[in-house]
């Protein structure tokens, strides 16, 4: 009788899970749908789905085991933070706030401070200058690179541009629209090559084209980092940079500023030798 009672309970739970879609897999898909609605990139959404379903396996693993996976010593500092961010976002979405509090006690590796490659303003302008023997495709890519750099927008925001009364807007992260500033000369040339303000090729193709023109060490994100660094070094108000980049926190903006080692040494010697 007792065994039958347990069997009946398990059947009921199984039925409820099927009827109301309470499985871990569906919880993951609901969270990913939420990320898509917030206009986060497909790459980010796919990465979150892969982490939650494969690496952390939130459908089958316990909360304690998932935390152990996150802090596993074989994971690098950046990967640990990626796993933590994905799991934390997932828990918050499903209102598992007690479990979110547990994550505060995880010991995550510190990220080493490195000098990431940034392009100086003059160097980028030279590399994107039209040459006599440039094909139309090369010219289109060059003006696009210059526009991305001078506006600091995300590559995923490129196809969300809207022009209203000479004011330019993008649809960014968090499903938010924001106005961006631009240089009129660059924008006019950009519009000549992209009349509908849309990039017709895949973003993967754009990444490849950027490397061809700027160098293998550079990516679309390098343009945002270079923009932030140039603006900060030129004395721009950090809040202006923050608004242009679409950050909700000034701390995120400061993380984008990546002065070169030679620049930092120059500033160091300038002030120390006074």
> What is the CB neighbour count within 10 angstroms for residue 220?
19
Distance CA 90, CA 59 (A): 12
| C-alpha closest to that of 148 among 96, 93, 203 | 203
C-alpha R_g of the chain? 24
Mind listing the pLDDT tens digit for each residue in 68-83? 999 999 999 889 999 9
Kindly give, in sequence order, each residue whose CB lies less than 8 Å from that of residue 187, ignoring residues fewer than 6 positions away. Answer: 147, 168
Average per-residue pLDDT in the chain?
87
Mind listing the pLDDT tens digit for each residue in 114-163? 667 889 999 999 999 999 999 999 999 999 999 999 999 999 899 999 99
Mind listing the pLDDT tens digit for each residue in 215-270? 999 999 999 999 999 998 888 999 999 999 999 888 888 888 876 667 777 777 77
> What is the CB neighbour count within 10 angstroms for residue 71?
14
CB-neighbour burial class of residue 203 (10 A; exposed 0-12, middle 13-18, buried 19+)? middle
Is 181 within 8 Å of 152 (Cβ atoms)? no
Is 214 within 8 Å of 146 (Cβ atoms)? no
Distance CA 150, CA 183 (A): 7
224 catalytic per annotation = yes
81 catalytic per annotation = no
154 catalytic per annotation = yes
Question: Under CATH, what is the fold of the domain 121-272?
Answer: hpI Integrase; Chain A (1.10.443)
Domain residue spans in the chain?
20-105, 121-272
Q: Which stretch of 18-22, 98-102, 198-202, 235-239 has the lowest confidence by average pLDDT? A: 18-22
Q: Locate tokens 């080493």: which residue?
A: 112
Could you tell me the pTM of the whole model? 0.70
Position 24 scores a pLDDT of 58
Neighbouring C-alpha atoms within 13 Å toward the C-beta of 149: 27
The one-character DSSP state at 119 is -
Distance CA 41, CA 257 (A): 22
Position 47 scores a pLDDT of 94
Catalytic hit among 171, 207, 221, 263: 221
Catalytic hit among 99, 154, 225, 230: 154
Mind listing the pLDDT tens digit for each residue in 175-192? 789 999 999 999 999 999
Q: Answer whether residue 12 shows pLDDT above 90.
A: no
221 catalytic per annotation = yes
Position 21 scores a pLDDT of 42
Class at the top of the CATH hierarchy for domain 20-105: mainly alpha
Is 87 within 8 Å of 56 (Cβ atoms)? yes
Catalytic hit among 142, 173, 225, 230: 173
């Amino acid at each position: 009788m007792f065994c039958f009672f347990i069997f009946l309970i398990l059947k009921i739970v199984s039925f409820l899970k099927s009827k109301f879609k309470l499985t871990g897999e569906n919880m993951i898909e609901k969270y990913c749908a939420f990320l898509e609605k917030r206009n986060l990139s497909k790459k980010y959404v796919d990465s979150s789905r892969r982490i939650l379903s494969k690496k952390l396996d939130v459908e089958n693993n316990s909360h304690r085991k998932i935390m152990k996976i996150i802090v596993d010593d074989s994971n690098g500092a950046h990967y640990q933070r990626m796993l933590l961010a994905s799991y934390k976002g997932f828990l918050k979405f499903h209102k598992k706030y007690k479990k979110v509090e547990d994550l505060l006690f995880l010991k995550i590796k510190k990220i080493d401070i490195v000098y990431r490659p940034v392009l100086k303003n003059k160097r980028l302008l030279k590399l994107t200058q039209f040459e006599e023997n440039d094909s139309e495709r090369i010219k289109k890519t060059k003006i696009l690179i210059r526009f991305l750099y001078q506006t600091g927008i995300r590559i995923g925001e490129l196809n969300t541009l809207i022009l209203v009364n000479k004011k330019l807007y993008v649809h960014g992260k968090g499903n938010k629209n924001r106005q961006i500033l631009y240089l009129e000369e660059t924008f006019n040339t950009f519009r000549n090559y992209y009349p509908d303000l849309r990039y017709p090729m895949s973003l993967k193709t754009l990444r490849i084209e950027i490397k061809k023109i700027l160098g293998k060490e550079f990516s679309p994100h390098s343009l945002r980092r270079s923009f932030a660094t140039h603006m900060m070094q030129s004395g721009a108000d950090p809040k202006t940079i923050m608004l242009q980049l679409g950050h909700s926190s000034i701390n995120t903006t400061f993380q984008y500023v990546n002065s070169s080692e030679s620049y930092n040494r120059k500033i160091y010697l300038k002030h120390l030798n006074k």
